[in-house]
């Protein structure tokens, strides 16, 4: 089974207003509430491939209960650690139907005590006995040291669990040196952690080699509308697919990660991994909100994927 780890989940409360105005009363026309967080999104994408995953991380309060129930309804196995006295955050997204713009108001998340972190690590390490891959995705909440993913990766890999790391900043800088099986930074995240620009093809290849040289066997750098570069020590391929109409790019990176880990688990070749993951990510961009595509949709997108050796 695949495990996902979400340290800072959230409820996304999306309210639709007609003509959002600051400093005055805005009447809400529609409300949508979704469980969110990067690892949770990966679990949601995996269930579309027919893959049940073990969703781990931290939850608290009524908002946490909502997320647990929502995942259960989707057929995902929640195995979260409960933080006492604090609630999982709510992020408010104000969608203005007139201008088509979204204003986001995101909470930092609850401050995690060392007792809560210890409890999480206990639960996580018992969960590791049930998974062969662990996806560590997203930012760390306040109170969690930036060495956290690095420590988890070292311990998980010592237990024979392959780790996928999709985070940013110092959590990525520390985590990548623990040599996970795969890293998936986007262009900005890779650029920031390596301190180089990733504009030209040569710069992107240079960045890929910097990750490979650490000993990381699989490197995927996603480039938004420009697709993604999929690299191993043997081959570097660039894959891209066109989307007729972009509806929402939210969760595209998570769909990419879910598709990569799922196709690696299924024993697909690296070229097949690149094709399937690109099809899954671009199909996600063609859907509203953070909705993940079905296998049928992915299969039809996979015919549009262009690939090139670099």
Ligand X SMILES: Nc1ncnc2c1ncn2[C@@H]1O[C@H](COP(=O)(O)OP(=O)(O)OP(=O)(O)O)[C@@H](O)[C@H]1O
Neighbours of 106 (CB within 10 A): 12
The site partner of 14 among Mg ion, ligand X, none (C-beta below 5 to 8 Å per kind) is none
Q: At 82, is the secondary structure helix, strand, or coil?
A: strand
CA 190, CA 172: separation in Å to the nearest integer? 9
Q: Does 306 bind ligand X (CB under 6 A)?
A: no
Q: Does 254 bind ligand X (CB under 6 A)?
A: yes
Selected range binding ligand X among 26-34, 77-85, 191-199, 241-249, rule: CB under 6 A: 241-249
Q: At 110, is the secondary structure helix, strand, or coil?
A: coil
Question: In terms of Cα–Cα distance, which of 278, 286, 240, 243 is closest to 259?
Answer: 278
Whether 6 contacts 53, CB under 8 Å: no
The site partner of 141 among Mg ion, ligand X, none (C-beta below 5 to 8 Å per kind) is none
The site partner of 227 among Mg ion, ligand X, none (C-beta below 5 to 8 Å per kind) is ligand X
Q: Does 263 bind ligand X (CB under 6 A)?
A: no
- Please give the backbone phi and psi of residue 89, each rounded to the nearest 5 degrees, phi first: -70, 160
Q: Does 227 bind ligand X (CB under 6 A)?
A: yes
Q: Does 86 bind ligand X (CB under 6 A)?
A: no
CA distances from 243 to 229, 258, 279 (A): 18, 19, 10
Q: At 70, is the secondary structure helix, strand, or coil?
A: helix
Site residues for Mg ion per CB under 5 A: 253
34 carries an active-site annotation: no
Among 3, 253, 260, 263, binds ligand X (CB under 6 A): 253
- Give me the DSSP letters along 209-233: HHHHHHT-SEEEEE-GGG-EEEE-S
Selected range binding ligand X among 46-54, 113-121, 201-209, 278-286, rule: CB under 6 A: 278-286
Among 47, 243, 265, 271, binds ligand X (CB under 6 A): 243
Q: Does 225 bind ligand X (CB under 6 A)?
A: yes
Q: Which of 81, 276 has the CB closer to ligand X? A: 276
Neighbours of 111 (CB within 10 A): 12
Contacts with ligand X by CB under 6 A: the residue count is 19
Residue nearest to ligand X (CB): 253
Judged by CB under 6 A, the chain residues 161 through 190 that form the site for ligand X are 186
CA distances from 251 to 22, 41, 44, 256 (A): 28, 7, 10, 9
Among 181, 263, 278, 302, binds ligand X (CB under 6 A): 278
Selected range binding ligand X among 67-75, 88-96, 207-215, 276-284, rule: CB under 6 A: 276-284
Q: Does 289 bind ligand X (CB under 6 A)?
A: no
The site partner of 64 among ligand X, Mg ion, none (C-beta below 5 to 8 Å per kind) is none
Q: Does 45 bind ligand X (CB under 6 A)?
A: no
CA 194, CA 216: separation in Å to the nearest integer? 15
142: left (phi > 0), else alpha (psi -120 to 50), else beta?
Answer: beta
Choose the catalytic residue: 244, 254, 288, 296.
254
10 strand-pairing partners? 36, 89
- Which residues are known catalytic residues? 254
Residues of this chain that interact with ligand X (CB under 6 A) are 186, 222-225, 227-228, 243, 246, 249, 251-254, 256, 278, 281-282, 285
């Amino acid at each position: 089974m695949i495990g996902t780890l979400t340290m800072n989940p959230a409820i996304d409360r999306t309210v639709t207003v007609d003509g959002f105005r600051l400093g005055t009363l805005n009447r809400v026309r529609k409300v949508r509430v979704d469980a969110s967080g990067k690892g949770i999104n990966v679990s949601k994408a995996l269930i579309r491939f027919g893959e049940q995953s073990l969703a781990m991380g931290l939850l608290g309060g009524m908002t946490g209960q909502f997320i647990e129930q929502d995942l259960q309804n989707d057929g995902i196995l929640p195995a979260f650690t409960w933080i006492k006295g604090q609630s999982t955050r709510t992020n408010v997204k104000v969608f203005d139907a007139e201008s088509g713009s979204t204003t986001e108001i995101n909470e930092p998340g609850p401050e995690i005590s060392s007792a809560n972190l210890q409890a999480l690590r206990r639960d996580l390490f018992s969960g590791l006995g049930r998974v062969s891959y662990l996806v560590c995705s997203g930012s760390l909440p306040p109170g969690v040291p930036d060495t956290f993913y690095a420590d988890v990766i070292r311990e998980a890999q010592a237990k024979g669990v392959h780790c996928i790391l999709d985070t940013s900043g110092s959590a990525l800088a520390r985590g990548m040196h623990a040599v996970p099986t795969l890293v998936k930074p986007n262009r900005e995240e890779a650029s920031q952690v390596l301190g180089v620009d990733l504009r030209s093809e040569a710069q992107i290849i240079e960045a890929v080699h910097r990750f490979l040289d650490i000993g990381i066997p699989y490197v995927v750098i996603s480039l938004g509308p420009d697709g993604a570069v999929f690299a191993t020590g043997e081959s570097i391929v660039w894959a891209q697919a066109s989307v007729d109409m972009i509806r929402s790019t939210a969760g595209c990176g998570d769909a990419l990660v879910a598709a990569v880990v799922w196709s690696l688990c299924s024993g697909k070749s690296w070229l097949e991994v690149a094709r399937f993951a690109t099809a899954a990510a671009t199909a996600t961009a063609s859907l509203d909100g953070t909705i993940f595509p079905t296998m049928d949709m992915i299969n039809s997108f996979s015919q549009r994927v262009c690939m090139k050796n670099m």
